[in-house]
Structures are given as C-alpha cells and as structure tokens.
Chains A and B, each alone.
Chain A
Amino acid sequence: MRIWMRIWAIATNTLREAIRNKLLYTLLFFSVAVIGTAVLIASLSYVEGARIIQDLGLSAIRLFGVGIAVFVGIGLIHGEVERRTVYTILSKPVSRTHFLLGKFLGLALTVWLQLVLMSIAFAGVVLLSGGTLGFGHAAALFLVGMELMLIVAVATLFSAFTTPMLAALFTLGVYALGHLSRELYHLGQQADVASVTWVATWVYRLVPDLETFNKTIEAAHGMPISAVEVGLSTLYAVGYTTALLFAASYIFRHRDMK
C-alpha cells in the first residue's frame, strides 16, 4: 500500500511538471491547429467531407500522440539522471523499479491527458461539420491510447540505458517497424532465402504489432469494430507493456547513476 502511494506520488508529480511545462502546450496547440486545418481542407474538397475530416483528424491525433510520447517520454528518465533529480528521489525509500514505474505511469497519464484534449477537439470538429460520432470513434481513440502507452514503455526501456538521441531514434524505429511488421512478415514468408524468412518472422515476434491499434479507416468509414477485438488488443498492449517495463527495470536496477 505504502509502495503504491510512493509510485503514485512520482506519477502525479511527473504529470504536474509536464502540465506546467510550456512545451506541452505548444505541442497541444499545434495538434489542435492541425485538426482544425483538416476541417478546412475537408470543407474545400466537398466530396465526402465528413470522412476526410475524420480520417485526417484521427491520423493527426495518432501522429501527434506518438510525437509527444517519444519526445516527452525520452526526456523522462534520462533527464532525471542527467539533471540528477533522481539522486534525491532514490535516496528516499524508493527503489529503482518503483521510480521507473512512477515515471512510466506519470508519462502515460500525461499522454492520455493530451489524447483526451485532442479527442475533444476532434469530436467538436466532427459535430460542427455535421458528422456523427459512435462507438467506432471511441474504440479507435481508446486503441490510440493503448498504442501510446506501449510507445511510452518502449521509450522507457530505451532511455533506461542509452542517450536521449539514441533512445528517440530507437523508439521511432520500433514505431515504424511496429506498423510495418505484418507486411514484413508476409513478405518474409514469400521470400526464397530461408534467413530472410527467419529474420522477418523474428521481427514480427519481437516488435509489437502496432497495426492492431490502427482503426482509423474503420472509424472514419463507419465500419464495425467488435468489442472483443478491442478487448484483445487491450490485453496485448498491457501484456507487452508489462514485459517492456520488466526489462527496463532490470536494466535500470543494474546500472550506475552517473
């Protein structure tokens, strides 16, 4: 119980620090501006305006969400170690694993808060432009939230041991691979060389399959999304995140704080 209180204190502190950091407002303002621009483009194109708004809007949310998750997320641990805030925190009865969990949770909360604000902007734009919202939109946005949580966990893992530049690169790499891994897998199965098949298979197994969380088209075009599918994707995200955090915590526990 006491342990959770400490993890929660670190998480809320991270969220509070993030909210007061002007950089986040800038990103948020920018993303809302992009969603607004989507409406403008859509209203100029006349044909299927509502769908284009939704398509562009959801894509913008995903893109900005990842941007925020990566760049704010990387600063998380590395910034703490570099600026030595971690010294005082770890001198309290807080283990390194608790610290990492607290930071992760605080970051996930920050990213989710951004997502909620962007979703509100999105909903407003859709409703104003005469569209309707349904379960599909909620499900798509929820899954974006799950994907962002996973990306934050990836960022946490990399920033537990590399420099911020490399961590950002690796995380973006995992993000790109994660969206391509299905394609790669299928391509690999068709390859003649056995080693190519082997590599493609292992990339598919190791890198999270992020396309699972991409329901942009379904939501924008009013296609059905099943609750079971959402549930399974959620389990997948939670499982993967847990594994990543275990790895991050193992590495973080065994390193020196310079």
Chain B
Amino acid sequence: MTRSTRDIICVEDVVKDFRPGFGLRRKRVLHGVSFVVREGEIFGFVGPNGAGKTTMLKVLMDLIRPTSGRASILGSDVSETEFRHQVGFLPENPYFYPFLTAREILTFYAKLSGMAEPTRSQRVAGVIEWVGLEHAADARLKTYSKGMLQRVGIAQSLVHDPIVVFLDEPMSGLDPLGRKEIRDIILRLKAEGKTVFMNTHILTDVEMICDRVAIIVEGQIRYQGTVENFLEDDDMRSDVVLSHLPADLGVRLDEDFDARIQGVGDRIEIHLRDKDVSRLLEMALAEGAEVVSVTQRRISLESIFLETVAKSREGSSNR
C-alpha cells in the first residue's frame, strides 16, 4: 500500500484472534484488514453487526493488540501514547463515572490531555454548549438519559481539540433530531479541517456525510473507496411510462435499449438505465407518444450493502 503524508490513519494487514475461554481454539475476528484514511475526510467504516468494526477501532485505540499487522495514526504507531492528545475517541455505548457532573468529567478529560487553565474551562464550556448540554452541565451523570450520555461522550472526544476523531456508532441511541445534531457536529469538524473516522451501520448517515467508506464483512474489507463510486458500481435505473405509442415503437425500443418493457393497458412501462432516459424520451416524443411519468429508481446504499453482504457470505460459505 502506498503511503502518502496525507494519510492520517494507516492500517496494514491487521489480524486479530480472540481466544474465548481457556481452550486453544482461536477465533479470527479480523482477517488481514488494510485501509487508509486521508486528511480532512469523513471516513465511514461500515458493516453488519459482528463484522469486526469495534474490534478494529479497539486496535486503533491500543485497547487490544493485533495478532499481526500494523496500525498507525498521524504517523505514530498506535502503541505510542503522546500523540493521543491529537486524537479523540467515542466508544460504543460510552459509560462515565455516575457521581460526577458533565462539567467535572469533561474537565477531567481535558486535564488528562494536558490542557491547562484558563483555556481548559473555556473549552469545557464550549463543548458543553456545542453538544447542547448547557441545561444539565452541573447535574450528576447518573441522572442523564442515554442520549445525553452519548452527547457527553462526544463532548469528551472533542474537549482537547483533536485533529482526528474516532466515533463508534455516534448516532446510536439518539432520536432523529439528535442524529441531525450529531451529523452537523461531524460536518463542522470536517469544515474545521479535522479527520473523522466513524463506525456505523446506519446507511443513510453514511450516504449523507461520508466522503469515503470501507465495507467490512466478517472481518474482511469488501469495498474501499468513495461513496459515489460505490453507488455507481450498479447502474442507477429509471422507470418511464408512455402512452399512445405507434405499434412498432415497442419492438424498436427492445432492440435499441437494454430495457425491460411491460405493457399495462394502452400504456407501457420501460425500465432502463438512467443515462438512456433522455434518448428514449426524444425518440418517443418524435414518434408522437405521450410521456406519463418518469421515475428515478434510487438504488439506496442499503440495497447495495445488503447485496454485498449477501454475496460475500455466499462466497465464504462456498470456500
């Protein structure tokens, strides 16, 4: 893998085996995962439950050690400590000391990152406002709802103004409004030039904000690249409904376009590639047909995702 200076995160052939119980049987969770995350992008690490997303993130946070392979962040091997003042991390379902208040816990994390007064309390107040917790900043965390704890988690990951932020399921446990707020926070981080690495299986979020994605299924990367390319892998299709067709047009359409045609009464429905739509319409109008409707069938990331997962599961069970 070529490594440029703009690569903020670089993961090379990471393998992780767990040994559940005392037996010698090992369970391979990551099968040689490699990817890079570039400066300033929002990177989505996407996969079904149990694919190994959290495991990968734990390797990056040095909470678990890879069986083999290497991972580095900002050019430092993940086993180092000092570079972490430039890194923020939101774990899956974060948990904090229940008897402290949000302000206290954030001050604590800011101290751990080496921030000194007066910057520290300003920054703490800043992130509290940013995640919308002003009203509860001085209440103990045991009185917080799940969504509020998630916000404390996000505030904690940003309090020391990191360059790169790792988020494990940042939208989980939030209502639609809360999710939009988190999306806005992530977009603002990008606008500030930060790099965001995000684990998720909520695909609409990926479509909305991610620049590039890696899709992981059963511990293996199945796709890595831009969201657009991923969507273009399968051509977008549209449905065009026409009426008052000349008799022979239907036959010619069949020859000219790689289309599926269905007759419905005096109307026909043509299912064809997006890029052929205008040519079809020109031809049909010239022949005196009437256009009833044109619908773009948006193939969602979800359907492609489901397909990819199904394909790779099939592949691995055939092996």
Contact = CB atoms under 8 A, between A and B. Distances in A.
B92 to A, nearest CB: 8
Interface in B123-164: 140, 153, 156-157, 160
B58 interface: yes
B82 A256 contact: no
B316 interface: no
A22 to B, nearest CB: 9
Interface string A81-124: 00111111111111100000000000000000000000000000
Interface stretch (B30-38, B109-117, B203-211): B109-117
A93 B108 contact: no
B306 interface: no
A5 B114 CA distance: 8
A2 B85 CA distance: 12
A88 B94 contact: yes
Interface in B158-198: 160, 166
Interface stretch (A9-17, A28-36, A47-55, A182-190): A9-17
Contact of A93 (B58, B91, B112, B140): B112
A94 B63 CA distance: 12
Given A6-B111, A92-B112, A256-B64, A84 B81 contact: no
Interface residues of A, number: 26
Nearest to B113: A92
Majority secondary structure, A binding face: helix
A256 B64 CA distance: 4
Contact of B112 (A6, A17, A83): A6
B313 to A, nearest CB: 26
A20 to B, nearest CB: 4
B71 to A, nearest CB: 14
B97 A13 contact: yes
Given A9-B112, A88-B157, A92-B112, 6 more contacts: A85-B95, A89-B112, A90-B61, A90-B63, A91-B157, A92-B85
Interface of B: 58, 61-65, 81-85, 87-89, 91, 93-97, 99-100, 104, 108-109, 111-114, 140, 153, 156-157, 160, 166
Pairs of residues from A and B, 7 with the lowest C-beta to C-beta distance, nearest first: A91-B89, A20-B99, A257-B63, A9-B111, A92-B112, A256-B64, A93-B84
